[in-house]
């Protein structure tokens, strides 16, 4: 299958970017990452991209004070790279509605909760405060509303007694790293279609859009 051209937008450590690089390098997901764009020049993800030989670009809000200007710079960079699909992977800037609409159905995001629960920031702190026994991650198509949009894949993770936000973050990330390649694979193979508020997957196998943390998988086994 012809490789689809994907741009990944980051702001930080880029462990999800690394998961996407690994999945594409092995050919498991038919994608070529053509650009890694960061909102911060000190993002460690840039180093991951360089090591993988992927072109990088920093588009800092400091250089583009207005939202419209910032979005235009990102839009231009995506066009120039010839991106067909955009993955937000820990990209911590809000994108304006115009840019998001221009990429409707072609822009994905990962969020560390089971959306629509716990959108926004400090997710793991809030999950612990709320006393949830379960949390997870969501890969979804991006819509102008933040951390919303049709869900492609979710991963489920247990919350354990004595968990700290950091422990929970680590456990959720493990599943994020499997969920993002899975969701991107469904999209680039043309198996997803958006129907109103939801994603429909062609020839969907039971469980294909659901990942379990290994701990849960063990507990469920009879």
Q: Could you give the residue numbers annotated as active site? A: 111
Cα 116 from Cα 132, distance rounded (Å): 14
Q: In whole angstroms, how close is the CB of 125 to ligand GAR at the nearest point?
A: 12
Question: Is residue 20 a contact residue for ligand GAR (CB under 6 A)?
Answer: no
Of 74, 28, 76, 34, nearest to 52 (Cα)?
Answer: 34
Question: Is residue 16 a contact residue for ligand GAR (CB under 6 A)?
Answer: yes
Q: In whole angstroms, how close is the CB of 19 to ligand GAR at the nearest point?
A: 8
Cα 56 from Cα 33, distance rounded (Å): 10
Question: Is residue 112 a contact residue for ligand GAR (CB under 6 A)?
Answer: yes
Segment 126-155, which members bind ligand GAR (CB under 6 A)?
137, 147
Complex with ligand GAR: residue 10 or 78, whichever CB lies closer? 10
Question: Is residue 181 a contact residue for ligand GAR (CB under 6 A)?
Answer: no
The count of chain residues that interact with ligand GAR, using the rule CB under 6 A, is 16
Environment class of residue 189 by beta-carbon count within 10 Å: exposed (0-12), middle (13-18) or buried (19+)? middle
CA 127 to chain centre: 20
Cα 124 from Cα 41, distance rounded (Å): 26
Which residues sit at the interface with ligand GAR, rule CB under 6 A? 10, 12-16, 45, 89-90, 110-112, 137, 147, 173, 176
């Amino acid at each position: 299958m012809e490789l689809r051209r994907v741009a990944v937008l980051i702001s930080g450590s880029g462990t999800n970017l690394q998961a996407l690089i690994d999945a594409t390098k092995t050919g498991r997901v038919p994608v070529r990452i053509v650009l890694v764009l960061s909102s911060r020049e000190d993002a460690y993800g840039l180093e991951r991209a360089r090591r993988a030989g992927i072109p990088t670009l920093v588009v800092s809000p400091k250089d583009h004070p207005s939202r419209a200007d910032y979005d235009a710079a990102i839009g231009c960079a995506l066009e120039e790279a010839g991106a067909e699909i955009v993955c937000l992977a820990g990209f911590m800037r809000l994108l304006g509605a115009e840019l998001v609409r221009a990429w409707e159905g072609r822009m994905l995001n990962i969020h560390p909760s089971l959306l629509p629960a716990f959108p926004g920031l400090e997710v793991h702190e809030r999950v612990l405060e709320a006393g949830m026994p379960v949390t997870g991650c969501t890969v979804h198509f991006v819509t102008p509303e933040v951390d919303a949009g049709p869900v492609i894949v979710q991963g489920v993770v247990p919350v354990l007694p004595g968990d700290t936000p950091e422990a929970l973050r680590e456990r959720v990330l493990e599943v994020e790293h499997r969920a993002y390649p899975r969701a991107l694979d469904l999209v680039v193979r043309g198996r997803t279609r958006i129907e109103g508020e939801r994603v429909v997957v062609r020839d969907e196998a039971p469980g294909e859009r659901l990942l379990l943390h290994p701990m849960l998988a063990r507990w469920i086994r009879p």
